[in-house]
A and B are shown apart, each in its own frame.
Chain A
Amino acid sequence: MSPNHRELHVTVNGTAYQSRVEPRLLLSDYLRHELALTGTHVGCEHGVCGACTVLFDGQPVRSCLMFAVQTDGHEIQTVEGISAGPEQLHPLQDAFWTTHALQCGFCTPGFLMTLLPYLETHSHPTADEVRQAISGNLCRCTGYQHIVEAVLLAAERTRQSSPESG
């Protein structure tokens, strides 16, 4: 192993990992190649498409614009960590499924990771606000219409299930 490798302690989806990484290893490649968490997709690799969006200490970031070594001591959440198990969809995933908000699905993990924290702080978004919230994520299949519908549906269902927070 090259002397240029660095020790990395990072928590991903609640699991603590210890790795040795080259400084140049992008966070997106670390998640996919080292941890085999291939739900994080890699599209443009220069911060434009949003497919690689993950949560860094709870906030959405482009994992292709961070080096894995920078996450030492921090927490990452990926799309693999958002539902309770493989047979259960997160309510936002379920809303995507209901409204046909994905076709090829390549962009979907990035959309989900962008929208999870957004919906926590925006319980009554309008369609225009949703379009702004997803402006950093590209989808080449759906034309976005059904994605906007999914977000509105997820917000509505969340309000119904916890009316006191609405």
Chain B
Amino acid sequence: MKPPPFDYIAPETLAEALEAARQAGSDAKFLAGGQSLVPAMNFRITQPVLLIDLNRIPDLDYIRRDDGAGLRLGAMTRQRRLELDPLVAAEAPLLAEAVPFIAHPQIRNRGTLGGSLAHADPASELPVIALALDARLRLVSTEGERWVEAKDFFQGMFTTALAPEEMLVEVLLPPMPKRSGSAFLEFSRRRGDYALMGVAAIVRLDEKGACAEARLVFLNAGDGPLPAPQAAGILTGRKIDARTAEAAAAHAAEKEIEPLGNLHASPSFQRHLAKVLGRRAILAAAQRAA
């Protein structure tokens, strides 16, 4: 299992990388952490003509709090850094909670935030987190830049709003509102395996302790990160307890998610997992919001 020959450049500026991408179009691939791209190349599932290695461009790996706007994360920030960073833990606890579930430490040492989002695997954690947190994504090309909401960025299995010549360079996570809490849970057969099902829950409480707003996004439950707005609506205006959490999770599991099933889990088992994990995540998020 070796990739076929390809051309390779490792530009030292963003401008050079974007110019190379403009010239090569869809023949080129950006190489970020390579933890999904390189296996696909080893299997010859994907055969780029040109690999544009982003690892020598400075200034794409950062974690900064921007007062008012939120947390700014450079696209080349390694997942391992997200996992260990105190600012991420304080400002985006949902992200900090989900990252340790991404594969193994060796993978997270290389794998990047932007690479995982641009890859858009429906079974991966970061797209779910980006959608749950209303992330905004900055895409750049030689033509300029544009900001895309997470909900518009993910367009299906391994498909995003990125044009071939565009690069994702920054992720902006808006600040968590007051009286809000979040939780992430997933189930896999062994630590680090692809999860059979997973869920991110965010709950915001009003002053009386009832649910003002909720958000549920499921992983490996369809052809992309899968939101369950109706289930979230069931929670709105109510006190969150075991019964309401169960009702919302059951609705999401039975009516909203579209699990495809795989070797290790039938769709009905995935729905069962969604119901159990959904209930637990809603309760945990509500508890943390209080």
- Which A positions have Cβ atoms within 8 angstroms of B? 4, 6, 22-24, 26, 29, 45-47, 50, 53, 56, 59-62, 64-67, 69-70, 72, 114, 118, 131-133, 135-136
Contacts and interface: CB of A to CB of B under 8 A. Distances in A.
A136 B104 contact: yes
Contact of B51 (A23, A45, A61, A131): A23
Given A24-B3, A70-B55, A65 B8 contact: no
Given A23-B7, A46-B39, A70-B53, A136 B2 contact: no
B43 to A, nearest CB: 7
A46 B42 contact: yes
Given A22-B5, A136-B107, 17 more contacts: A4-B7, A24-B3, A24-B4, A24-B5, A24-B6, A45-B1, A47-B103, A53-B106, A56-B109, A61-B109, A64-B42, A66-B34, A66-B110, A72-B10, A133-B105, A136-B104, A136-B192
A142 B115 CA distance: 35
8 contacts: A24-B6, A46-B42, A47-B107, A62-B110, A65-B110, A118-B105, A135-B191, A136-B103
Task: Report, as a range, how many residues of chain B touch the other chain.
Answer: 20 to 34
B178 interface: no
Interface string B257-279: 00000000000000000000000
B106 A114 contact: yes
Dominant SS at the A interface?
A: mixed
Nearest to A113: B106
B35 interface: yes
Contacts of A67: 8, 34, 38
Contacts of B107: 47, 62, 65, 136
B208 interface: no
B1 to A, nearest CB: 5
Dominant SS at the B interface?
A: loop
B194 to A, nearest CB: 11
Contacts of A66: 34, 38, 110
Nearest to A58: B109
Interface of B: 1-8, 10, 34-35, 38-39, 42-43, 51, 53, 55, 80, 103-107, 109-110, 190-192
B57 to A, nearest CB: 13
A136 B105 contact: yes
Contacts of B4: 24
A136 B106 contact: yes
Contacts of A118: 105
B31 to A, nearest CB: 8
A23 B110 contact: no
Nearest to A6: B8
A145 B51 CA distance: 42
Contacts of A69: 8, 10
A135 B35 contact: no
A131 B106 CA distance: 14
- In this complex, the member of B7, B104, B110 whose beta carbon has the largest number of chain A beta carbons within 10 angstroms is B104
A127 B44 CA distance: 39
Contacts of A6: 8
Given A29-B2, A61-B106, A135 B190 contact: yes
Given A23-B6, A67-B8, A46 B106 contact: no
- In this complex, the member of B1, B80, B105, B107 whose beta carbon has the largest number of chain A beta carbons within 10 angstroms is B105
A64 B106 CA distance: 12
Contacts of B7: 4, 23
A72 B8 CA distance: 13
A132 B105 CA distance: 9
Contacts of B38: 47, 64-67
